C-alpha cells in the first residue's frame, strides 16, 4: 500500500523546522506505523539523507518511549493504542498523514519527532514515591489492601509516561499524568503518610515546568493509550485542596 507522509523535520533543539513531504508505496498493511518509518528511513539512509528521528524502544506499547501526533491526534486514530502498536491497516491506501512531535513548552523538540520529556521525571522526583528504604519493610501481608482500591490504584499506575495527554491538551496540561501518579499512591494505605505533601509538591513542580492548567476539557483522557480516567485529575485537585487547607 501507499502512504503520503508530511513529517516535521527539525535538525536540532533550537533550529527552525518544517513539514517535509515523503511518498512511500510498497508498504504492508500489517506493518506498524514505526515499521513504516523504519522502511522510509532505510531508503533515506541509502540516499544519504538523514533518517527521521523518532523515539521508540519496546514496541509493545509499554515503555512509553514512542509517540507523535498523526493528523491532529496524539498516537493516531486508534483508541488506547500507541504508535508502535498502530498498524497501517487503519489507514486508507494513498492517505495523507501529518506526523508532528508533541507540542508543549515543557517538551522542547530535540530532533524531528523526538522531544525532551524530562519534566515528567522531575515531577516524579518532587514527590511521586513512597519513602521506604530497602530492608525496612514489614511482611507483605501485614498491609491489607481492599481489592477494589488495589484495582483502581493499578488502573492509575498503568500510565506509561508517554506524554500524549500533554500533547493533546489544548492547555498543554500535565494533569492526567500527575493525577495518575497521585492516584496510584494515594489509593493505597502505604501511600497515606505522605499523601498531603506529595500533592503539594507534585502540583508545585508541575507548575514550575510550564505546563498549562487543566480546564477539564478531556482530550487527554480520549488519547491516553492506557485509558487513564479524568477521575485522577479530580483526585489530584481534591488532595491538593485538602492539603493546602489542612497543612499547618
Binders of ligand HEM among 172-231, rule CB under 6 A?
A: 215-216
**Locus of grid cell 488532595:** 239
**Coil, strand or helix: which one is 86?**
coil
Task: Fill in the per-residue mask, 91 to 130: x = in contact with ligand F3S (CB under 6 A), - = not in contact.
Answer: ----------------------------------------
Q: Shortest Cβ distance from residue 17 to ligand HEM (Å)?
A: 31
**Which residues sit opposite 87 in a β-bridge?**
32
Q: Is 158 in the site for ligand FES (CB under 6 A)?
A: no
CB atoms closer than 10 angstroms to residue 36: 22
Q: Shortest Cβ distance from residue 93 to ligand SF4 (Å)?
A: 30
Q: Is 80 in the site for ligand FES (CB under 6 A)?
A: no
- CA neighbor of 226 nearest in space, from 154, 169, 174, 150: 154
**Locus of grid cell 496510584:** 184
Q: Is 215 in the site for ligand F3S (CB under 6 A)?
A: yes
Q: Shortest Cβ distance from residue 16 to another protein (Å)?
A: 11
Q: How far apart are the first and last CA of the chain?
A: 64
User: Grid coordinates standing for 164?
Assistant: 500524549
Residue 180 site contact among another protein, ligand FES, ligand SF4, none (CB < 5 to 8 Å, cut-off depends on kind): ligand SF4
Q: Is 164 in the site for ligand F3S (CB under 6 A)?
A: no
User: Grid coordinates standing for 109?
Assistant: 523538540
Select the span of 44-52, 92-100, 146-154, 214-222 touching ligand F3S (CB under 6 A). Answer: 214-222
Q: Shortest Cβ distance from residue 139 to another protein (Å)?
A: 6
> Which residue in the set 84, 169, 180, 188 belongs to the binding site for ligand F3S (CB under 6 A)?
169
- CA neighbor of 210 nearest in space, from 181, 174, 182, 179: 174
- CA neighbor of 130 nearest in space, from 73, 205, 185: 185
- CA neighbor of 165 nearest in space, from 182, 157, 177: 177
Helix then strand count (H, E) for the chain reads 8, 7
Task: Fill in the per-residue mask, 19 to 58: x = in contact with another protein (CB under 8 A), - = not in contact.
Answer: x--------x-xxx-xx--xx--x-xxx-xxxx-x-xxxx
| Residues in contact with ligand F3S by the rule CB under 6 A | 169, 171, 173, 175-176, 214-220, 230, 233
Amino acid at each position: 500500500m501507499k502512504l503520503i507522509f508530511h513529517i516535521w523535520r527539525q535538525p536540532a533543539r533550537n533550529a527552525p523546522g518544517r513539514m517535509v513531504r515523503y511518498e512511500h508505496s510498497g508498504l504492508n498493511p500489517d506493518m506498524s506505523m514505526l515499521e513504516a518509518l523504519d522502511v522510509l528511513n532505510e531508503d533515506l539512509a541509502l540516499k544519504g539523507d538523514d533518517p527521521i528521528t523518532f523515539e521508540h524502544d519496546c514496541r509493545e506499547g509499554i515503555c512509553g518511549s514512542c509517540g507523535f501526533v498523526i493528523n491532529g491526534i496524539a498516537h493516531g486514530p486508534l483508541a488506547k493504542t500507541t504508535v508502535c502498536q498502530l498498524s497501517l491497516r487503519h489507514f486508507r491506501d494513498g492517505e495523507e498523514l501529518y506526523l508532528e512531535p508533541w507540542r508543549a513548552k515543557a517538551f522542547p523538540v530535540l530532533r524531528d519527532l523526538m522531544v525532551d520529556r524530562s519534566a515528567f521525571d522531575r515531577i516524579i522526583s518532587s514527590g511521586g514515591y513512597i519513602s521506604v528504604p530497602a530492608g525496612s519493610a514489614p511482611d507483605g501481608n501485614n498491609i491489607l489492601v481492599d481489592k477494589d482500591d488495589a484495582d483502581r490504584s493499578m488502573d492509575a499506575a498503568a500510565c506509561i509516561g508517554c506524554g500524549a495527554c500533554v500533547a493533546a491538551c489544548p492547555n498543554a496540561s500535565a494533569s492526567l499524568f500527575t493525577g495518575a501518579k497521585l492516584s496510584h499512591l494515594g489509593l493505597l494505605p502505604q501511600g497515606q503518610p505522605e499523601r498531603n505533601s506529595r500533592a503539594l509538591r507534585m502540583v508545585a513542580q508541575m507548575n514550575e515546568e510550564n505546563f498549562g492548567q487543566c480546564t477539564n476539557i478531556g482530550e487527554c483522557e480520549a488519547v491516553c493509550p492506557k485509558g487513564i480516567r479524568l477521575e485522577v485529575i479530580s483526585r489530584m485537585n481534591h488532595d491538593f485542596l485538602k492539603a493546602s487547607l489542612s497543612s499547618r
